Amino acid sequence: MPPLGTPPPDAPNPGTPAQGLAAETEGEEAFRRIANCTPSMIWFSDQHGNCLFANRHHEETLGYPVSELLGQGWRHLVHPEDLDAYTATVDRALARREPFQTVLRLRARDGRLYWVRVDAAPRLSADGEFLGFVGIDTDMTESHRTEEALERLVRQRTRDLSEANRRLKEQIEERNRLEASLRQMQRAEALGQLTAGVSHDFNNLLTVILGNLRLLQRQPLRSACRPLPSRGGWKRSAWPPSAAPCSPRSSSPSPAASGSTPAPWT
């Protein structure tokens, strides 16, 4: 079996330009037949970006007849928000004649949106002349929906974590306030206990003082009958002994007169 792309031995040799053109045309027809049997959206364009072919899978997926996609008809499939970026990508690739890859949204006839990844490569003639691009559009809708769901889950999880962090900060602040209030109450309680202790001790001392004052009030004063100090020494009271006002027996006869022993002071 000859390698792929090698003509069989009995095939005519395309030696003339007409024969070469016929071979290329036959090759394109074979490509079209194969592409129409492929469950992927395959297309090719000319060197100006006009669509020359789109397989039947475009119509099966998007609902538009293939004839409406030829030329510049493909533009109405592209989502308006993606059209400018995709057109710029295609124009840059046409100018550089290099492959390109991009992701865009295609709008179906029933209004559904399809996320597709476009992979395109230069299409060359047998002489190496640039003829345009051949590309395949891969449906990425399900994977994109999965990615969007994951992103929504991550955003929701981030919001939940932010809310939990906010509540935790509020709880920490409330705890700090309660601890500060508790410390203030403990200081006030300690001060109250100290004040109560001092008041109790003072009351005890005051009770002793008041008791002594009451005791002194019940007893007569004796300081008037005692010798009074002076600068020159001690001297007796100015009152005569017989007339001392503090003597309980001042009106009785003197001991010398009565001949009895003087009684002690009580």
- pLDDT in 10s for each residue of the chain, 266 residues: 333 344 444 444 544 544 545 555 666 777 788 888 878 899 999 999 999 999 999 999 899 999 999 999 999 899 999 999 999 999 999 999 999 999 999 999 998 999 999 999 999 988 889 999 999 999 999 988 888 889 999 999 999 999 999 999 999 999 999 999 988 888 888 888 888 888 888 788 888 888 888 888 877 655 555 555 555 554 554 445 554 454 444 444 544 444 444 544 44
Q: Rounded to the nearest 5°, which phi and psi values hold at 48?
A: -105, 5
> Residue 2's pLDDT is what?
37
How many CB atoms sit inside 10 A of residue 61's CB? 19
Token code pair at residue 1? 């079996």
CA–CA dist 257, 250 (Å, integer)? 14
No. of helices (H) and no. of strands (E), the chain: 5, 7
> Residue 14's pLDDT is what?
47
> Residue 5's pLDDT is what?
41
> Residue 84's pLDDT is what?
93
Kindly state the helix (H) or strand (E) to which residue 141 belongs, with its residue range: helix 141-218
CA–CA dist 42, 35 (Å, integer)? 6
The most distant pair of C-alpha atoms in the chain lies apart, rounded to whole Å, by 188
> Residue 225's pLDDT is what?
52
Q: Rounded to the nearest 5°, which phi and psi values hold at 116?
A: -130, 150
User: Pairing between strand 228-230 and 100-107?
Assistant: unpaired
> Residue 120's pLDDT is what?
95
Question: Which pTM does this prediction carry?
Answer: 0.51
Q: Which of 129, 130, 125, 135 is nearest to 44 (CA)?
A: 135
CB 36 within 8 A of CB 56: yes
Three-state secondary-structure class, residue 226: coil
Three-state secondary-structure class, residue 135: strand
> Residue 210's pLDDT is what?
82
CA–CA dist 130, 98 (Å, integer)? 10
> Residue 154's pLDDT is what?
92
> Residue 196's pLDDT is what?
83
> Residue 12's pLDDT is what?
47
> Residue 70's pLDDT is what?
92
